[in-house]
Structure 1
Amino acid sequence: MRLFRFFVPAALLLSAVSCSGKSSQGAPPEVDEASATRVRRMTRAEYDNSINAVLPTTPPLVMTYAFAPEDTILGFSTHDRLQVTALLADQIDVAANNLAEYGKNQLRADWTCSADVPELECAERFIRGIATKAYRRPVTDEDVADLLALWQEARKGTDPGTAARVVLQGIFSSASFLYRTELGAEGAAANTVVRLTPHEVAAALAFAITAGPADAELLAAAEAGQLDSPDEREKHARRLLATPAAQKHLYRFVEEWLGITGQANLTKNNQVFPAFSAAFKVSSQSETRAFINHILTERNGSVRELLDADYTYADARMAYFYGTQPSMPDGTLGRLPLPPERAGILTHASVLATYALFDSSSPIRRGKFIMHRLLCREVPPPPATISIIPPEPVLDRTTRERFAAHTNNPTCAGCHRTLDPIGFGFEDFDGLGKHRTEENGLAVDASGAVELASGSVPFTGAAALARVLATSEDVGNCVPLQLFRFAMGRDESAVDEHMLTDMRASFRANPEWRLGDALVGLVRSPYFVHRRTSSPE
């Protein structure tokens, strides 16, 4: 039974504007412009984390395991255009029912009444406590009245445990649980800049850093009206950045930013790449996962070290593939010095294989990867009249020669003039990420150039490019922008330039370029806590 038609926009907005809490409404705003107010659906990760805040130790199979996968915009699944399709609505109903059954038992002490307490008084106390956690804000009397009516209806002819289950099902399928609001206090005039409510600020900060709701300390700061202070917001941001939840969230960012979330589905032609196997795929992915986690947990999320580290964490299979001697037993991961032709994550076999073709390398894919992901430059699609089918491998030419002939069409030159020199610089690695100096008996030419704001920078080989990018101001500008898109769940607009300036200044303040510092710059910005209300229709 679907208890709430949470995907009906009118019902959603009525629920959303009921947020309450201490507010700076009426005080002069710190900014004269801001992004628009909005209501956004939680992602699957945010849903799971929100459930765990209400029902700790909930088994994963009870949550979003079977939910439809999320689409991506600008490479990120955290965007605010996520919808509730008919399929997802049914899946949420099933999850809410399962969660309610599990929660009824886990929360028995909360809804069970002693003989000397009226049942409705006990039920109201239970509802207020659970709904406040689930809705991430103080509940209104209207919220409580609706849920109490649901309790009373379910109680007819049944026991209190059944009523508790029905109430929990209603909470977990309601708009107030499934959607996050950034609306400010109720009653603001149209087309004005308003400050978010304290609980909205707490939620925005927590979700940006941990993909989950505010914890007890952050909620206490919201209740005390302390989150108006950028120093206070920074204090909580840095505290949360040290938690496993933040490191897991940042790991997801790095994966989506670099476009390597689909590695489990990677396939290669075994006749061309005999080293490729299911075991190789596991080893190469494990290497990249361990290296990213090391950077996040031990190196404070240093982007420079992510790009130009002279070591990795790999097993013996990857050590032999890289041409070095393993220092660890078979099947275990250990710190491995990289040979000079490799540097950082861009030369991981898993990344190089991702940005390659089934049977060869791909200068175009690798060049576009750098342009789009690390330099934040859009590459327009080719004209409809141009064939985008890559040239077939041949035995009398190198990949560089084949692709150069393919992309020399004058119609393509505008894009490929900057794209190809980057991709050709990766030609010292084949389509599986194996280093090479020859291809088809011919010498490999891995010379390239990358266009930066400071001018064209020549390089030879992917490791040299990684070292160039690790000190490039272009990358220093791009990474905070990518993190903004991920954390804020939307693409940038002109009004966000001030917030991006704050993020970039904080990011660059430390020579290591730490991801957490960019997030601190985000939450400190006054533009983070302000929104502009909608204009009247």
Structure 2
Amino acid sequence: MLPSTIARVVCASACLCWLTACATSAAATADTAVGGSDTGDDPDTGAQDSGGDDVDDPSEDLDPGRVTLRRLNRVEYGNTLRDLFFGLDLGVAVDFPDDDSALGYDNIGDVMSVTPLLFDLYERATDEVLTAALIDPAHADIRAQIIPCDPASDACVHDVLSAFMRRAWRRPIAEDELAAVSERVGATTQAGGTRDEGLMLALQHVLMSPHFVFRVELDADPVASEAHDLSDHELATRLSYFIWSSMPDAALMAAADAGELRSSAEIEAQVRRMLADPRALALLDNFAGQWLGVRGLAELDDAAEHPGIDAELAAAMRAETEASIVRLFTGESSLVDLLTSDQGMVNDRLARLYGLPEPGTDALVPVSFADVPRRGLFTQASMMALLSNQGRSSPTRRGKWILDKILCSPPPSPPANVDNNLPQPGPGQTTRDVLEQLRENANCAGCHAVIDPIGLPFESYDATGAWRDQENGVDIDPSTEVGGVAYPDAIALLAGLVADSAPYQRCAAQQMLTYAVGRELGSSDDPWLDALLEISEAADAHVPELLIGVAQSAAFRRRRGEPE
């Protein structure tokens, strides 16, 4: 444990005191930063000089929106500690409270507050990580990377803190910032501690600073409406948390040092490099997991919520869906394929559920769905089970998913006085019959008239995702009519949704941009969404090109203050 004889390294009496330090801290500037670059950036204000190859964006003069100072969410915090300590992953953030969500995501700045409890958890986490990395002999290799010299030397302390602060705060460090942190080493020895203890306390101070816990982006005038470019290091940080949910690596920091991120070609090269890194799997859980709602797949083996699904089947379901999303982000499949592909992955357990010949393996293998009623992600057993309700299929949940996740047209929430539990079908009835009766209620008719026609074709899949022809002994009618067009079944409806895929592709761009910038989009973002739709259509709806387009957009690389 860190020495208890030294007072707390930050003002913990009130979170407000702690946060104020972010605004009042001396900023690292090009002429005072330790190991900084000479690109002309001002890391305090984000201002850049006029040199370099500016990103070509026809909407430079449009409002990039206001992004609130963003705290690292639980996943980002854990990933950042892991990468900062060279792969040491103690899972210290696993038991942190769930982050608040807005707009479907848990990285939206406006709802990411800091509570006294979270502050205490940060202190406990940094204590645990520093103790393991610097004291535990099992991690001597990590200590050697952080402290490669004898801390008895002032030069060693200077070099260790300079390198660590730069990586932790994700930007060049000003000499006065470094001096202030270095003073803690001397204060510790004066209080009777050792140099090693003092250095550990200094490192804890770095990790407890808002410059670590927050993604700091500053404006020359916090109340000005005029937009400005992010600094190179602020942009590097946006890129890394967008793609990796973690801190920039050495290559990205080097590009920021050299001022190379002003080039659209360099941004493209960096995004492609980052997508090839295993850390890009963070997109699966943190972006796709929230956009498509598949984070809930972790609970598929909950017997109370999903009767009929055992641990073996749940694991196969999750693996099939994860494989589909990985192919989407590697560019092996497209957004259109995500909904309509007749190619899938099964093992013996899934093959039995789908009525296919068993491939003779527990591992997933490619298979054709051409002769069975399965197309794309949405008819996978995992999705049909996820969008069911305690052993009952749910046309309402399934229809709402398509409206919300695929078309970005979520229906309004039901009135507070409405019972959301659908009555069980009576003898000789199906769920379709129950919903038809429900639509006779004026309180329910408006929303269900929109949701149900989209969800009802998927009644052919039960709550485990298995195909069925009957419910309650009655033949299921999977036909529907949406927008004046008749569809005989779910497969035809999915094909119809992507026949003109522009609304779907624009929705994907909207979801991606919201996640990337961490704020609510408005009408001023329409030009960027229009441009992203053009990029997606030109790339045949392949997601890597859309990710690059988001990263190159002025909405991503510019910001403004908030007028009073």
TM-score over 0.5 (shorter chain) = yes
Task: Using the TM superposition, name which of 199-208 and 45-54 deviates more.
Answer: 45-54
Q: Which amino acid aligns with 1:13?
A: A
Shift of 1:257: 1.2
* Match of residue 534 from structure 1: 562
Shift of 1:32: 4.8
Whether the 8 Å CA contact 2:189–2:198 is kept in 1: the answer is: yes
Distance 1:209 1:47 in 2: 15
Shift of 1:112: 6.0
* Match of residue 311 from structure 2: 278
Query: Where in structure 2 are the equivalents of 1:189-208 lying within 5 Å?
Result: 190-208=224-242
* Match of residue 405 from structure 1: 437
Q: State whether structure 2 residue 112 is matched by structure 1 residue 82.
A: yes
Q: Which amino acid aligns with 1:313?
A: M
* Match of residue 37 from structure 2: none
Segments of structure 2 that go 5 or more residues without pairing to the other structure are 1-6, 31-39, 42-46, 55-59, 136-141
* Match of residue 522 from structure 1: 550
Residues 178 and 300 (structure 1 numbering): CA distance in 2 closer, same or farther, change over 3 Å? farther
Distance 1:71 1:335 in 2: 38
Query: Where in structure 2 are the equivalents of 1:337-348 lying within 5 Å?
Result: 337-338=368-369, 339-348=371-380
Q: Deviations over 1:322-380 (max 9, x none)?
A: 10111132x32222322431101101111101111213211111111111111100211
Whether the 8 Å CA contact 1:307–1:343 is kept in 2: the answer is: yes
* Match of residue 431 from structure 1: 463
Q: State whether structure 2 residue 367 is matched by structure 1 residue 336.
A: yes
Residues 431 and 260 (structure 1 numbering): CA distance in 2 closer, same or farther, change over 3 Å? same
Q: State whether structure 2 residue 49 is matched by structure 1 residue 18.
A: no
* Match of residue 107 from structure 1: 143
* Match of residue 124 from structure 1: 158
Shift of 1:50: 2.1
Q: Which amino acid aligns with 1:503?
A: L
Residues 138 and 446 (structure 1 numbering): CA distance in 2 closer, same or farther, change over 3 Å? same
Q: State whether structure 2 residue 395 is matched by structure 1 residue 360.
A: no
Distance 1:278 1:2 in 2: 46
Q: State whether structure 2 residue 467 is matched by structure 1 residue 467.
A: no
Query: Where in structure 2 are the equivalents of 1:127-526 lying within 5 Å?
Result: 127-156=161-190, 157-184=192-219, 186=220, 190-266=224-300, 275-297=308-330, 299-300=331-332, 302-329=334-361, 331-338=362-369, 339-451=371-483, 456-471=484-499, 472-511=501-540, 513-526=541-554
Segments of structure 1 that go 5 or more residues without pairing to the other structure are none
Shift of 1:518: 1.4
Whether the 8 Å CA contact 1:154–1:163 is kept in 2: the answer is: yes
Q: Secondary structure at the match of 2:460?
A: coil
Q: Secondary structure at the match of 1:421?
A: helix
Q: State whether structure 2 residue 76 is matched by structure 1 residue 46.
A: yes
Q: Deviations over 1:156-179 (max 9, x none)?
A: 323222122111211111111010
Residues 36 and 291 (structure 1 numbering): CA distance in 2 closer, same or farther, change over 3 Å? closer
TM-score (ref. length: structure 1):
0.90
Distance 2:339 2:249 in 1: 33
Residues 333 and 109 (structure 1 numbering): CA distance in 2 closer, same or farther, change over 3 Å? closer
Q: Secondary structure at the match of 1:425?
A: helix
Distance 1:520 1:387 in 2: 44
Distance 1:438 1:516 in 2: 41
Q: Deviations over 1:367-424 (max 9, x none)?
A: 1111111110021122344433311233320111112112222333222222110011
Residues 289 and 193 (structure 1 numbering): CA distance in 2 closer, same or farther, change over 3 Å? closer
Q: Which amino acid aligns with 1:460?
A: P
TM-score (ref. length: structure 2):
0.86
What's the % identity of the aligned pairs? Answer: 29
Shift of 1:127: 0.8
Whether the 8 Å CA contact 1:132–1:139 is kept in 2: the answer is: yes
Which of 52, 63, 66 in structure 1 is aligned with 2:95? 66
Q: Deviations over 1:219-258 (max 9, x none)?
A: 2222222222222222212222222212332453222111
Distance 1:368 1:112 in 2: 56
* Match of residue 125 from structure 2: 95
